[in-house]
Structure 1
Amino acid sequence: MRAGGESGSTIQSVDRALTVLRLLARHGELGVTEIAAKLKVHKSTAFRLVTTLELHDLVEQHSERGKYRLGVGVLQLAGATTAKLDLVQRAKPVSQRLAEVVGETVNITVLSGHEALYVDQVAGSAALQLHNWVGQRIPLHATSNGKVLLASLSEVRFDELTSGTLKRFTDKTITDRAELRAQVDEVRQRGYAVAIDELEIGLTAIAAPISSADGTVVGSISASGPGFRITPDHVPDVAARVVAAGREVSRRLGWHGH
């Protein structure tokens, strides 16, 4: 296994850190001296690498032997990836049916840092937009998916994710935290969120939560399209279908609520 060097598009320190993780995965536990020898670097360099990884819970030190092993952060990363894949797989048939019924684009998102991350998309028959949003991030405060995710959070977490300036995308974007909090409270009560012209003029989106087996909101499902098709009169009907789809995906994930 190579320690890696800085050439082309690689970064030596990152390459070495990842090599440390692979070494620990292979050997179980290693001391700093052993890691340094295997990487062919000075002991101080190896110490800085494991210390940095330890700060991110990717490695942990055995208190008795002083050796390092993989930390819980690795499990959390793997678990998050598995959960997202499971969500996409279980939501797919539901998303496809919803897209067929409403004729609009259906998206699945999850909370990722301070934004919502698109993890799946299905285009409806009326959708002309061919852009694939999977893998892209959207702001929480200016989208229906984002507001659904915000509605699932504690007050402390809400404050963390909405601190600072809320970016304005259109004249309909909510940039006042108190107003956003009030709208998120309303989302929590009625079970779905609506965003009309908030991210871009002419776009209407309606989202509902997706819950895991323990009732924790793990994502959102939305239907979005142009405002001339999803008119204010049409919103309640689309919302009911989106909410039903969110509950169906939740049941597929083991949720037994109402």
Structure 2
Amino acid sequence: MTAEKKVPAIEKADKIFKYLYYKDSATQSEISKELNIPKATTNRLLAVLTELKYLSFENKKYKLGEIFYFFSTKHERYTLIKNISYPYLEELSLKFKETFKISVLDEDKIRSIAKVESSDFIKISVSENAIFPLHAGAASKLLICQLSENRLNKLLDTTLPRYTENTITDREELKKELLKININKLSFDNMEHSKNIKAVAVPILDKKNRIIAAVSCPCFPDSLPDERATKIVKEMRKACDEISKRLDYFNK
């Protein structure tokens, strides 16, 4: 790394994290001495890192904080959902010759964590780990439909970005649709995010009936008439029920 790109405070924090990872815990004076960081600088860094929950302080010693546990468990949770869901996505894709994907609400965005694409030459392609907006798309609306009014207001602007002529751009209008989606546990995308792509999404629920992920099927409009959409939804619900049961088993 070139000198002009270095950020001294971040480099020192990085040293502290690595030191505590191997040491497990240490006092302020131990950290300052072992890492050759001035006492005053160490004091300021430890105070900020503790406030931000990167570190915890107990019995006059510092340890890595809960935010690292949050990062690691989130990755583990996504990996578990992906691994359990993948065979069901394959089965759905083989049966309907469509693309199916799993999405989650990741902080302030919708993230795709797994997908199985149609075997057809002409198909909807989705990148794994793709990011989608909160307000446009079947999976997106499903994943935010249980959020509180307060959180929705924080995440969504009063006027939302328009992607197609069908995008819902009014926050209050979107909230009305989210209420219906939460009641029915079913969401549709009528070419709201991408022109000429429709989609349907069904939730994966935990044992408290909270939506933790969404299985969705993006299709070309001609591939999703009402009758076929009903059949796809029925099979998606069966798959999501099985995924939910298996997740409950592993989360005991």
TM-score (norm 2): 0.89
Instruction: Report the secondary structure of 1:167's partner residue.
Output: coil
Relative to structure 1, the CA distance from residue 36 to residue 136 in structure 2 (aligned partners, 3 Å threshold; closer, same or farther) is: farther
The amino acid across from 2:167 in the alignment is T
Q: Tell me the CA shift for residue 227 of structure 1.
A: 0.9
Given the alignment, which residue of 57, 62, 68 partners 1:61? 57
Whole-angstrom CA distance in 1 between matches of 2:158 and 2:12? 35
Whole-angstrom CA distance in 2 between matches of 1:241 and 1:47? 58
Whole-angstrom CA distance in 2 between matches of 1:84 and 1:181? 27
Is 1:105–1:127's contact at 8 Å kept on the other side of the alignment? no
Given the alignment, which residue of 192, 201, 206 partners 2:186? 192
Tell me what 2:225 maps to.
231
Given the alignment, which residue of 43, 49, 58 partners 2:45? 49
Instruction: Report the secondary structure of 2:26's partner residue.
Output: coil
| Identical residues among aligned pairs (%) | 22
- Structure 2: give runs of 5+ residues left out of the alignment: none
Stretch of structure 1 that moved more, 214-223 or 89-98: 214-223
Cα shift readout 1:214-249 (whole Å, capped 9, x = no counterpart): 443211111112112123443222222222222221
Relative to structure 1, the CA distance from residue 136 to residue 54 in structure 2 (aligned partners, 3 Å threshold; closer, same or farther) is: farther
Q: Is residue 2:107 matched to residue 1:113?
A: yes
Tell me what 1:18 maps to.
14
The amino acid across from 2:72 in the alignment is A
Whole-angstrom CA distance in 2 between matches of 1:219 and 1:8? 42
Tell me what 1:102 maps to.
96
Relative to structure 1, the CA distance from residue 50 to residue 135 in structure 2 (aligned partners, 3 Å threshold; closer, same or farther) is: farther
Tell me what 2:35 maps to.
39
Tell me what 1:161 maps to.
155
Tell me what 1:245 maps to.
239
TM-score (norm 1): 0.87
Cα shift readout 1:21-71 (whole Å, capped 9, x = no counterpart): 221122222223322233322223323332332233121122x42x21122
Q: Tell me how large the CA RMSD over aligned residues is.
A: 2.3
Tell me what 1:149 maps to.
143
Tell me what 1:139 maps to.
133
Relative to structure 1, the CA distance from residue 213 to residue 23 in structure 2 (aligned partners, 3 Å threshold; closer, same or farther) is: farther
Relative to structure 1, the CA distance from residue 181 to residue 28 in structure 2 (aligned partners, 3 Å threshold; closer, same or farther) is: same
Whole-angstrom CA distance in 2 between matches of 1:52 and 1:205? 45
Whole-angstrom CA distance in 2 between matches of 1:176 and 1:46? 48
Q: Tell me the CA shift for residue 111 of structure 1.
A: 0.8
Cα shift readout 1:93-114 (whole Å, capped 9, x = no counterpart): 1111111122111111111121
Whole-angstrom CA distance in 2 between matches of 1:219 and 1:236? 20
More helix by share: 2
Relative to structure 1, the CA distance from residue 121 to residue 48 in structure 2 (aligned partners, 3 Å threshold; closer, same or farther) is: farther
**Structure 1 outlier segments of 4+, above 4 Å:** 5-12, 129-132
Whole-angstrom CA distance in 1 between matches of 2:8 and 2:237? 48
